[in-house]
Structure 1
């Protein structure tokens, strides 16, 4: 069998995932997480999963929200740069931890940079982002210039 567009084949499940996404967005806002941090997490998860569709979308979203080219350029090696705040580093480490189970690296700790509410909200963000990546990759969403 060739490519199957999951959102068209099962639109109700797609709508449910979109609803979960909206609920997670509300939790992120309630946890007072910066919208740029949210986009950075979405980008990093999409890098880890190799999802070109989501990478392009969330990089564009981050730029529209004021993200810099320098930070976008080094996000794949965020732990080696001084571009990110402690809270952003904690969220990116958490994103990697949730995406790559189990993680065996030096940057998988959250420390005290995030509250329990923020850890939960970011964890749900990563879970939903992983789901979106899998829908886009499995459906072979086009990514052309």
Structure 2
């Protein structure tokens, strides 16, 4: 497999727009470890090797536990994640797979107690952003270094 185009060079304005999303996410009140977990889980669902590699490395550099990283795809089956993280992962899965489930009320009800309105908007933006990055990387065959 080889890279199709370098999307960073092909459309700097598109990347600038994506970076605007990233700037908001950085300024949000969401914990860095939560952000890393959400990025990794969405990238796993989407099958984005480039992003899985990058976000696993970023999470490790930030001090994330290898056991949590190894089991994030089975987060429901472990006790390694907090209730807030579990809620964020459930939200991430529902939004990433939105065509399958349209974010059921049951997901909303389990996520709502763990986040303020602003945090939910920021968490949703985070999921939107990583899904966007995944689509750039997958469609143009961005490969891990």
Distance 2:112 2:123 in 1: 14
Does structure 2 retain, via aligned residues, the 8 Å contact 1:5–1:140? no
The one-character-per-residue Cα deviations of 1:69-98 (angstroms, maximum 9, x if unpaired) are 110111001011110000000110111111
Distance 1:66 1:130 in 2: 24
> Larger helix proportion, structure 1 or 2?
2
How many positions carry a matched residue from both structures?
Answer: 138
* Counterpart for residue 12 of structure 1: 13
Could you tell me which runs of 5 or more consecutive residues in structure 2 were left unpaired when the two chains were aligned: none
1:44 Cα deviation (Å)? Answer: 0.2
TM-score w.r.t. the length of structure 2 is: 0.87
Does structure 2 retain, via aligned residues, the 8 Å contact 1:4–1:138? no
Distance 1:119 1:127 in 2: 12
Does residue 40 of structure 2 align to residue 43 of structure 1?
yes
Could you tell me which runs of 5 or more consecutive residues in structure 1 were left unpaired when the two chains were aligned: none
Does residue 136 of structure 2 align to residue 139 of structure 1?
no
CA RMSD after TM alignment: 1.9
